[in-house]
Structure 1
Amino acid sequence: MKKKNVVIVILIILGLAIAGFIFLRLFARAVTSPENADKNKVLYYRNPMNPEVTSPVPMKDSMGMDYVPVYEGERATREAGIYMSAEKQQMIGVKKDKVEKRDLALEILTVGKVAYDPDLYVAQEEYLQALKTVEATKKSILPSVSEQSQSLLEAAEKKLILLGMTKDQIEELGKKGKSQENLYLASGENTAWVYITIYEYEMGLIKEGIPVEVEAVAYPGLKFSGKITAIMPVLNAETRSVQARAEIEDAGHKLKPEMFVNAKIKVDLGEKLAVPENAVLDTGARKIVYLAKEDDMLEAREVVLGQKAAGFYEVLDGLREGDMVVTSGNFLVDSESKLKGAM
C-alpha cells in the first residue's frame, strides 16, 4: 500500500514538472515573438527617486539603488497620463476649472518724473526755425540755398525723432508754430509732461494712447490722469528700460519739473483664451498643466503661455476652449506622475 502511494506521489511530481516545463516554453515563445519584441525592449533606465534622470545603461544611484528599466511597451501608458480614482483626487484636494475665453486686463506699476527736458525744447525751436528758413528760401534764385535749408530741416526732424517725437507730433508742432514750454518749466498750460520708466519685459504692452494715472509724493491721494503720447526709440542698455512720455492733465499746475511720481498704466488685452494661474506648473524648462480626462485619467500637457493678468494666463498653444484642468493638488499629481514614470 505504501509502495503504491509513493508511485502516485512520483507521478504527480513528474506531471507538475512537465506542465511547468511546457508553460515556461510557451511563455518564452510569447516573450520572444515579433509582436512582443518591441514591448520588451529596454528604452533606457531611470533613477528610482527622480524619473527625469535617466541612463542608457544599467547603473546605481548615489544611495546604491538600481535604476529602473523603462520598456517600449510603457510608452503608451506614459502618453496617456496617470489614473487617479475620484476618491484619491478628493483626498489630496484636487480641484478643476475650465479653460475659456475671458476679458483680460492688467496694470503696470512703475515710476517716473515730471519732465525737465530743455534738450527737447531746444530741438523743437531748431525745427521751427528750420521750417521758417525753408519757407523763406523757397523762391531763392540759388538752388544751393534752398537745398541747404531743406537739409537742415530734415536734420532737425531726425533729431526730434531720436528724442521721442513721432512724425504726427512733429507735423502738429509745425502747424502750431510754438515749442512746448512745459518740457522744462512750469507754464500756463493745463497739462504737464511726465517721463515714465518702462522695463524691457513690458515694452510689448505699451502703445501710444494707453491711459495712465500718476500720483506725486507731494500730493498723497491726489491722482492725475493722462495718456501715453510717445515712446523713446532707444533702450537704456544699463537699466534695460525705455522712457515713455505721457501728457498729464494738471489744471492746478501742481506738477513741477523733476518731481518724482508713481505711475499706473492700464493695459486692456481684450478677449483671450485663458487658463487659471494655479493650473500652471513651471519647471523652468517648460510649463505644463494637468488635463482632466474621462475615466479619472490625468494627462500632463505642455502649454505655451502669453501674458499673465488677474490670476489667469493667456493661452497661445496646448489647450482648447472647454478643456478641464487641475487647479489645486496638481503638485501632488505631478509627484505621483513622476514616481510612476508617467512623464
Structure 2
Amino acid sequence: MTLDRTNAMRWGTGVLAVTMLAGGGGYWLGQKGGPATTETGSAQSGRKILYWYDPMVPAEHYDNPNSLSSMGMKTVPKYADDAPMGDAMPGVSVDPAARQNLGMRVVAAEMGALPSALTVTGTIDFNQRDVAIVQARSGGFVTRVYARAPGDVIGAGAPIADLQLPEWGGAQTEFLAVKRLGKPELTAAARQRLRLMGMSDALIGEVERTGRTNGTVTIRSPIAGVIQSLDARQGVTLGAGQTLAQVSGIGTVWLNAAVPEAQAGIVRVGQSASATLTAFPGESFAGRVSAMLPAAQADSRTLTARIELANRGGRLRPGMFAAVALGSEGGQALLVPSEAVIRTGARTLVMLALADGRYRPAEVRTGREGGGKTEVLAGLAAGEKLVASGQFLLDSEASLTGIAARPIGGGK
C-alpha cells in the first residue's frame, strides 16, 4: 500500500509540472487569443509557428521556445496566420493582457483650437511711426532755450525754444498795411500768405487785433514723448528748415520679437501676442503682430516680428527685454497628442486602434504643434481612435509582418 501511495504522489507531481509548463507561455504580442504558446498547444490548435521572438526586440528570431532575447526576456511565438491574408482586415492583434502589460493608451482624434507653443524673446523699441520733427520755418536766431535735454519726457505743446524771425515781422507789417486798404480780397490773400509761412491762426489773430507785429515765436512739441535730439541753443542762427528737435511718441511702442527661421511660417500679420517682462512680474501685455520684417538676421537665423503694444503710463521703456508668446489664430483644427505621432523621416504615421483589438499604421500629414498637441491636415478623421502610448512597438510589429500603412486619402 505504501508503494502505491508513493507512485500516486509521483504521478501527481508530474501532472503539476506539465500544467505549469503549459500555462507559462500565455503571453504573446500580435495574437488573436487562443491556446497556450507551447509546441504541444500549437499542434493541438493547428496553428503554425514561424519563430520565437521578443516583442521588445522584434528583429531577433529564435528557433525554440526556451530562448532568451538579448534583453533577457522570454520569447513568444510568431504564428503564420498573424499576417494579413486575402481580403481580411490588415492589422496587428494584441490580447487584453498584453495591452495592459504594455501600458497601451488609446485616444480619439478631436477638433479643437491649437494652443500656442511658440515662445520667443524680444526687445521694446520706439514706435518709429510716431515721430515729430521740430523745424524752423523761416531763417532767424534762437533768443531763448527752455530747460530741455535729450531723453526728457515732455507733453504735447511743451515749449522748446523761442525764435526771432525777421522775415515774419516783415510779412506781418505787409499784412497790416493791406488790411488798412479795406479790400477783403487782398486781406484774405495776405492772411493766407502768413499761414503758408508757418504762423498759427492764434498769432495771426493777435497781430490783426493789436495792430502790432510779433516776429518772436515759441516753438512747441506737437506730440507727447521723449526728446531724441535737441539742436536748439541760445544765440544760434538758424536757416529755414533747420531741425531744432526730434521727439518720439511713447503712447505706443514696438516689440521686436526674434522668430526662428524654421518657425517663421506659422507667424502671420494680425496674429495675437502676449508679452511678459521681468520688470512687471505676473502681468502680461497683449498686442498683435503688425508686420513681419522682410530681412533675416544672418548671425542668428531669425526673422523679426513687429508687435505694437499700448504703453499706458509710459511704463514700457525702449530696450526692455520681454518673453513673447505668439498665440494661435483661433481656428478649429483636427488635433492628436504629439506623442502619438511617429516620424520616420520619410513619412509620418499614427497607429490606428481598430475593432477586436487590432491595430494598423496610417500615414498622415501634420501641421502646427503646441501644448502637447499636433495638427493633422490629412489622413485622419475626427473620432478615429489611435494609440498614444506603446505605438512604436506596434509599428515595429506591423513592419515585420508586412502590414501596409493606410495611405492618405483612404484605401486599403
Matched, 1:275 2:336: yes
Give 2:363's match in structure 1, choosing from 292, 302, 313: 302
Structure 1 equivalent of residue 103 of structure 2: 93
Matched, 1:227 2:288: yes
Question: Displacement of 1:76 after TM fit?
Answer: 4.8
Cα gap change, 1:180 to 1:234, in 2 (>3 Å): farther
Q: d(CA) in 1 for partners of 2:322 and 2:112?
A: 32
SS state at 1:232 partner: strand
Contact 1:303–1:317 under 8 Å retained in 2 = yes
Matched, 1:251 2:318: no
Question: Displacement of 1:342 after TM fit?
Answer: 4.1
Q: d(CA) in 2 for partners of 1:180 and 1:199?
A: 35
1:138-160: CA deviations, max 9, x gaps?
A: xxxxxxxxxxxxxxxxxxxxxxx
Question: Displacement of 1:285 after TM fit?
Answer: 2.8
Give the number of equivalent residue pairs. Answer: 222
Q: d(CA) in 1 for partners of 2:119 and 2:254?
A: 18
Give 1:115's match in structure 2, choosing from 110, 125, 143: 125
SS state at 2:334 partner: strand
Cα gap change, 1:229 to 1:323, in 2 (>3 Å): same
Q: d(CA) in 2 for partners of 1:322 and 1:89?
A: 21
Structure 2 equivalent of residue 206 of structure 1: 267
Contact 1:111–1:263 under 8 Å retained in 2 = yes
Q: d(CA) in 2 for partners of 1:240 and 1:183?
A: 34
Contact 1:50–1:338 under 8 Å retained in 2 = no
The aligned amino acid for 1:301 is A
Q: d(CA) in 2 for partners of 1:81 and 1:186?
A: 71
Question: Displacement of 1:180 after TM fit?
Answer: 10
SS state at 2:394 partner: helix
The aligned amino acid for 1:90 is Q
Question: Displacement of 1:75 after TM fit?
Answer: 7.4
Give 1:82's match in structure 2, choosing from 84, 87, 92: 92
Give 1:288's match in structure 2, choosing from 345, 349, 355: 349
Cα gap change, 1:186 to 1:341, in 2 (>3 Å): farther
Provide the TM-score with structure 1 as the length reference: 0.55
Contact 1:209–1:227 under 8 Å retained in 2 = yes
Structure 2 equivalent of residue 3 of structure 1: none
Q: d(CA) in 2 for partners of 1:334 and 1:109?
A: 33
Which is bigger in relative contact order (C-alpha 8 A, separation at least 6)?
Answer: 1
Contact 1:102–1:274 under 8 Å retained in 2 = yes
> For structure 1, which runs of at least 5 residues remain unmatched after alignment?
1-48, 52-70, 126-177
Q: d(CA) in 1 for partners of 2:109 and 2:123?
A: 41
Matched, 1:328 2:394: no
**CA RMSD, 1 decimal:** 3.7
> For structure 2, which runs of at least 5 residues remain unmatched after alignment?
1-56, 60-79, 134-221, 229-245, 405-412
The aligned amino acid for 2:352 is L
SS state at 2:99 partner: helix
SS state at 2:352 partner: strand
Give 1:237's match in structure 2, choosing from 275, 298, 310: 298
Cα gap change, 1:317 to 1:333, in 2 (>3 Å): same
Cα gap change, 1:111 to 1:208, in 2 (>3 Å): same
Cα gap change, 1:50 to 1:293, in 2 (>3 Å): closer
Contact 1:228–1:244 under 8 Å retained in 2 = yes
Question: Displacement of 1:183 after TM fit?
Answer: 11
Cα gap change, 1:101 to 1:222, in 2 (>3 Å): closer
Q: d(CA) in 2 for partners of 1:75 and 1:183?
A: 78
Q: d(CA) in 2 for partners of 1:191 and 1:323?
A: 48
Q: d(CA) in 2 for partners of 1:194 and 1:280?
A: 35
Q: d(CA) in 1 for partners of 2:109 and 2:90?
A: 20
Q: d(CA) in 1 for partners of 2:227 and 2:104?
A: 57
Contact 1:291–1:298 under 8 Å retained in 2 = yes
Provide the TM-score with structure 2 as the length reference: 0.46
More helix by share: 1
SS state at 1:106 partner: coil
Q: d(CA) in 2 for partners of 1:296 and 1:328?
A: 15
